[in-house]
Structure 1
Amino acid sequence: MEKRLLISRTRLFLALGLAALFVFASVGLALAQDGTPRRLTVGGSVTGTLSEQTFAQTYTFEVTGGALLTLTAVSNTPELTLALILTDANGQPLAQNANLSGAEVSLSNLSLPSGIYYVTVLRSSGAQGAVSGQFTLSLSAGTLASPTPVPTLAPITVSNMSVALSWATIDDLDLEVRDPIGNSVFWGNTAAGGATLLANVNNGCTNTVSSPIETIRWAPGRVPAGSYEILVYYNRACRQPPAPVDFTVTVTVNGRAQPPIQGRLNLNDQYVASFILESPEAVSVQQGGANPLLLNLTPFAAQISAPQPLGGRTSVRSRIDRNNQVDVWSFEGVAGQVVNIAMNAVDGGSLDPQLILLGPDRAVLASNDDASPETRNALIANQLLPVNGTYVIIATRFGKNIGGTEGNYELTLSGTGALVAAQTPVAPEGGAPIIAPTQPAGEVGLAGLPVGAMNISLTWNSRADVRLLVRDPENRSLFSDVRNTPSGGILARQDNLNCNNPTSAPITYAVWQADRLLTGTYEVQVWLRNLCGETLLPTYALNVNVRGQQVLSVQEQPDINGRLYVTTFTINPDGTVSAGRGAVFFNEALRDIGDVRDRADVAEALIYGRPTFGSVDNVSPFTVYTFQARAGDRVRISMRATGGTLDPALYLLDPSGVQIAFNDDAAPNDVNARIDAVIPADGRYIIIATRFGALTGGTTGSFEVAVAPIR
């Protein structure tokens, strides 16, 4: 998919980060209070309760093989939305799925090897929020069917055909349809392949109507037969505060309306479904789902357990369609290699490729849907391999099992060299590594740079100036202006700095010495400083390795407006390392933290001129306060760090929860936060006291917050 199809990355990272929090604890959780296992049987169901104190419940089940399994969790409380995580007997994550707006979530079409498995049901909000309620979890079995080829059908003649999107609010929803030969009709391309978008209703929240309908209609005549993909977007909230929107999509062929597609979307989310047109009389609607980029790999567990080795091949061709939604390939990799994996649609069709790379432990290392905003082809670029072993490439399509695009593709695997010294590799059975290290272990690393106890690399694929900053547990930052820290950090290389002598294969590399490596939380920031004449956003790969352990492996595109991607990792006193979640820090409360109006009802009310005190940590990364003000009042809100490493940040919201102002630094050399504002109307105003990075930041400590009139 192209840039317009990207879902809210904040919401996606929250969902995936949520999975990481619980997956390794799943085995121990599958016990009742008396120590007996909480078992789930095929054809049976269990009920459970989730609350602010118990936001996850885990159950165990056994697979004997030969059946197609589906796990389904249904909330009995409208406000309680759910997520599912599936793990094997060792607690290794296999798949996860989350429904951020509906009552039901499932992991469908599981074909698992025989063994013991654990499924965790949790609130999709994780530990945040106070919502509670009961759920029902069921395990059902079906029949495993072999895929059959999709026939190529000649165009058919219709007297009329349309796809209509309807909803019942003034919000700006949008419709897109992709036909079987790659044509796409949406608000930015209103006519293609004989189809026309009749009106872009509620566009930009102007001339809004409360019962809008958007319709894409085909002219009478010949239309392509095959799979049509339907996309629904919630692009702008015209009501404040934003609220979920229910919608209906109706497909009509020759005057005959098909069964409706119904769904619900939150702001910035999208929904994908499809319909198969074989003839005017043979139309089948495929119900879909929201958040199609969530990495729910459970339906493909059988293929993942038995991938097709690439061997010595550097490229292969295959096909993705409704009967073959994924191909799973494998290759042997060596710790320290950097690889590029490309998946390009070929030979026509409508395929929108998506790539997912799994490590030897079958955990997701990287994924990509679009190599750039101008293409639907997928590219995992500059991916550092953390360990020796068998890596798995999943070649699929946008939406995977709920998507609707189909076509042939070419998969290409290439290596750019052995970049981090590792153990001397042994040639694996069935093929050799792409490129083996040529330097002795422990002597050199990325591009000949030194290897230390901790190594952080940032690589990207253009001449742009992309920056890296690492903040250590003593609140000292390593970046282009400060290339050494007392904790032993050295910025050994920074390419394309200020667009000087730019290279198209740049590297930024930081290394820490073993004898000075601190325990505690490290914060990592990545941002785009300058495109340096490039017309496309680069794709970057961020990798963190601590004492030989791959801690973080992130592939992203930087924010075009220079906003920072922020993530953390923690070196614990016992030597273990844990990764935090990451996301772009938007400086927007609703995107960085969420809706806090429910917290405002019980928040501490600030009194003018009287400071109050609080703290920020990884369990409680923000605190909500309120104060009363009248229209025209001039106020100063200040937040001052009083202990720890805290880098304060403030949001000011109006009584309805709409953001008025944000501040991170009161002055260029002052990390404390301050907002000066003129109050627009009488009412109770909301303050959020947090840290730079909010939920994904790494600084912690105590603070003083106050509101005072400006005379």
Structure 2
Amino acid sequence: MVIWRVCFICIVIFVSTSFTSAQMNEAELVLFNQIVTGRIDNLAPQRVYFFEALRCDYISIKVTTTLGDLDPVVTVTNPDGSLLAYQDDSNGTEDIHLRAIAIPTTGRYTLTISRFGYARGTTAGSYELLIERVGNGSAFGCALRYGDTVFQVIDSTQPEVFYSFRARMGDVINITMRRRSGNLDPYLRLIDSYNQILTENDDVPGTDNTLSMIEGFFIPADGTYYIQATRYGFMAGQTTGNFSLEIVEAENSGMGNSALGAIPIDFNTIIEGEITNDQFTRYYRFYARENDIITINMSRLSGNLDTFVVLASATLQEIITNDDISNETQNSRIADFRIPVTGTYYILATRFERNMGKTTGKFRLQLQSQGNAFEDVASDVRRILYGVSLTGNIDDITPEVWYTFYGEVGDVISITMDRVEGNLDPFIELYAQDRVSRLVSDDDSGGGVNNARVDRFTLGYTGIYYIRATRYSGADNPNTSGSFVLVLAQRFDN
């Protein structure tokens, strides 16, 4: 019987590894701490699974028969197909428990569940499979996961230790290296897969050279990163001792959870997200040109979410906010906003009362562009802003100068055109965006000598307006000329 079982083990290992190579595409992914159920019988004498593991992971594998008389056999093979672990029975029972398997290299591992006797076996039944990560090693070159702590030593024979970890763009991480014995002066470096040093730290102030920390580092791209745990002076350093090293994911880690990890959003696209009590603000960013006209819509998709949307500058200074479009809806909209300066802007998608709010749910966010406010304006038309004065000249060669500005419905404005030199008799006209419809004009209301003034005119729409600065062309004063100052002001007085 012993000889038969030994022969069977060899057969199972050969068949399992051969099957794994041929049928890998049919294998089922198993995640750590996930219970998977299956059945072994004459129609299916074995099942194949795979799992991802990192170098120095310690894993536990449990296979428990839940129905029938199944006598399970478990084989685990390395990414190269060689045997890593095998077990038939565990502690006199027919259930299997492989404890603390040390993972030799980062990669995909194959796990095959069969029965004693394989196709010739007679047992059958249902089972549960559970794979758990029960620990991690501290050796040089081990791969770490967020939450891991390792212990090692720095001395003359080992002045540095390297560890690796996988990260995704938008992760925000903290790495701490703490002296545990000796006079070690810890020093940390974070290095990318191109061997570029991303950041480094010697001492945290006030810790008497016992603590080195890389705090709040934003991961710029998906990939593998490396931690160099060493000492001040590196190879030439003199301090030695034991240390602990910990890597954790910081608060608000992940894309969209902070301004640092803001999700890029393009014009005229839709993005969906979720507001929860743990994450009550989602961050997005976009690039816009001066005078671009944009609209931001945030609408509830599920839950009781009372949306609230914020547009902020590159320094996160809030420019404009909106809670509800109207009393009939809890959706939010910032409509027809004109970008003041070319650059990066942030959208904060949140809820009413933000961190104090109670509502949650999924939402849809849309950023729309209505183009640039001045894209249809001729290149020879000068732009003017509220509160700005510009100079010009009127003569027979240039009998008129056109200006344009962007105004909002309800704005109250004043326009003055004052002569500076010559005998110019100023005359100003305000036109609508079609540059044909004249809204108001003035010849001599500005006081002084024939100056022009349009006082407290209320704009009737949001958009482009034109100012025509010219000279009075009446028969009694036909060909005046000279320089002038034009001032456009927004009025807030009564």
The TM-score with structure 2 as length reference comes to 0.33
Task: Write 1 or 2 for the structure with the bigger share of strand.
Answer: 2
The TM-score with structure 1 as length reference comes to 0.24
Indicate the structure (1 or 2) with the bigger Cα radius of gyration: 2
